[in-house]
Amino acid sequence: MPEELDPFRISQEQLDKAAGLMNLDKAAHAILREPMRELELNMPVRMRNGTTKVFKGFRVQYNNARGPTKGGIRFHPQETKDTVKALAAWMTWKCALANIPYGGAKGGVICDPKSMKGDELEELSRTYIRSLNGFVGPKVDIPAPDVYTNPQDMAWMMDEYSKIVGHNEFGVITGKPLEVGGSEGRFDSTAMGGMYVLREAAKMKKINLRKATIAIQGFGNAGNFAFELSKKLFGSRIVAVSDSSGGAHSEKGLDYQKLKDVKEKTGSVDNCKGAEKITNDELLELDVDILIPSAIENQITEKNADRINAKIVLELANGPVTPGADEILFQRGVLDLPDFLVNSGGVIVSYFEWVQNIQSFYWTEDDVYKRLDAIITKSFSDVVKTQREYRDNGKKISPRMAAYIVAVERVAAAMKIRGWY
């Protein structure tokens, strides 16, 4: 991977820039530049064909000044420790910006879940959580789903942990199925949070979402629900969508059910009848009002940032815009809303799930959405307020930098008062 695309370098670069703008204390900056703890695991798993395969996995606990660390687990063939470190840093800023009482963490396993059978995945999930014994727990570090992991994997991990401690411990992990301590509204909470942010941003930019056109990159946990919700809540026209194989484009607007069916039957949305095929790169450059990158890192770079035509970029994926591209978009007046604001709905509802597990008292879907709306709308206004304050002091800063400043200030304040520096 070229150095400028190394996610951990990017996360450090972003932090350095924010630290400079806010005059962050040197010691606080040094602590926050590196993860507090990095675990590397080698996990033997018995495969269906009788052989034993050793999988490599990671868990990075970045900072716990504000509470137990929190963040998802990715099962990905190209997983790297540096990606996990960056994602753990972003979880730290995400939880601090949302002002929920957590630090940040992330986990990953190098594996190809698409080619593994159900019982192999179960064994891998159980082995992963066993290997972390002593380093996870509802008061220590609380994992959740992420790329290519799902509620079933979380249920197995919760079950394994519960066996180790000798009692049911639902609060050890979030994103669980409803039957075993999951929360109403968790399944589409990342996209729902993004929609609340979009609503606020459109108000600010005076964009009528009912007449707006949208392109969505990705049709997984985030992109799929972003499609459904932007149509349902705002009546927007989604003109393009893609997955890792390619995309579909229609100026008249795409049909959700048709896309879901074709994806299920053929494995990709790009086989959708009545729509033209489009590449992922072409999708990003379409002339639309709103672009929603909902797939993976490093999609908008210095190479294509000049050709992004959207008025708003809503970063529903983690890390889709590189720092160089961030700068270009900002100079060009594109409102690029940062990942750790836009996609914080997932971890906010994870927090609700953990709270419900602790109190064994469960909320309605309506309760969940209302509370999510209140928290994420406050995050959005904290970002806008900080941007205005800096502007009034003669510094023009991007929404990402404003979000960093709010988050880093909160983590630094907690570290200071605890006597860490």
CA distances from residue 54 to 41, 46, 124, 127, 348 in whole angstroms, order as listed: 10, 9, 10, 11, 34
d(C-alpha 227, C-alpha 269), whole Å = 13
User: Least CB distance from residue 358 to ligand GLU, whole Å?
Assistant: 15
The pattern of x and - marking residues 268 through 307 that bind ligand GLU according to CB under 6 A reads: ----------------------------------------
Residue ranges in 62-91 that form contacts with ligand GLU under rule CB under 6 A: 70-72
Residue with Cβ nearer ligand GLU (70 or 76)? 70
d(C-alpha 351, C-alpha 141), whole Å = 12
- Interface pick for ligand GLU out of 346, 368, 373, 379 (rule CB under 6 A): 346
With CB under 6 A as the contact rule, which of the stretches 150-158, 287-295, 344-352, 409-417 interacts with ligand GLU?
344-352
CA distances from residue 257 to 47, 132, 158, 274, 295 in whole angstroms, order as listed: 36, 40, 33, 13, 20
- Interface pick for ligand GLU out of 174, 242, 294, 356 (rule CB under 6 A): 174
Strand partners, 41: 57
User: Least CB distance from residue 359 to ligand GLU, whole Å?
Assistant: 18
Residue with Cβ nearer ligand GLU (29 or 186)? 186
Residue with Cβ nearer ligand GLU (84 or 216)? 84
Q: Which of 17, 70, 85, 106 is catalytic?
A: 106
User: Least CB distance from residue 104 to ligand GLU, whole Å?
Assistant: 9
Q: Does residue 379 belong to the site contacting ligand GLU (CB under 6 A)? A: no
Residue with Cβ nearer ligand GLU (106 or 199)? 106
d(C-alpha 162, C-alpha 176), whole Å = 14
d(C-alpha 403, C-alpha 380), whole Å = 9
Which of 82, 89, 93 lies closest to 105 in space, CA to CA?
89
Q: Please work out the total of residues on this chain that contact ligand GLU, with binding judged by CB under 6 A.
A: 13
State the Rg of the chain over Cα. Answer: 21
Using DSSP's 3-state secondary structure scheme, residue 70 falls into: strand
User: Least CB distance from residue 157 to ligand GLU, whole Å?
Assistant: 13
d(C-alpha 226, C-alpha 190), whole Å = 9
Instruction: Point out the residue whose Cβ comes nearest to ligand GLU.
Output: 72
Which of 150, 145, 190 lies closest to 341 in space, CA to CA?
190
Which of 352, 398, 354 lies closest to 140 in space, CA to CA?
354
Residue with Cβ nearer ligand GLU (94 or 263)? 94
* CA 167 to centroid of chain Cα atoms: 31
Tokens 């607007």: give the residue. Answer: 253
The pattern of x and - marking residues 302 through 321 that bind ligand GLU according to CB under 6 A reads: ----------------x---
Do the beta carbons of residue 240 and residue 294 sit within 8 Å? no
d(C-alpha 253, C-alpha 348), whole Å = 31
Q: Does residue 127 belong to the site contacting ligand GLU (CB under 6 A)? A: no
Q: Does residue 113 belong to the site contacting ligand GLU (CB under 6 A)? A: no
**Side chain identity, residue 381:** S
Do the beta carbons of residue 107 and residue 73 sit within 8 Å? yes
Residue with Cβ nearer ligand GLU (308 or 347)? 347
56 carries an active-site annotation:
no
User: Least CB distance from residue 90 to ligand GLU, whole Å?
Assistant: 7
User: Least CB distance from residue 343 to ligand GLU, whole Å?
Assistant: 6
Residue with Cβ nearer ligand GLU (90 or 330)? 90
Backbone phi and psi for residue 67, each to the nearest 5 degrees, phi listed first: 150, 180
- Interface pick for ligand GLU out of 43, 60, 144, 278 (rule CB under 6 A): 144
- Residues lying near ligand GLU in the complex (CB under 6 A) are found at 70-72, 94, 144, 146, 174-175, 318, 343, 346-347, 350
List the catalytic residues.
106
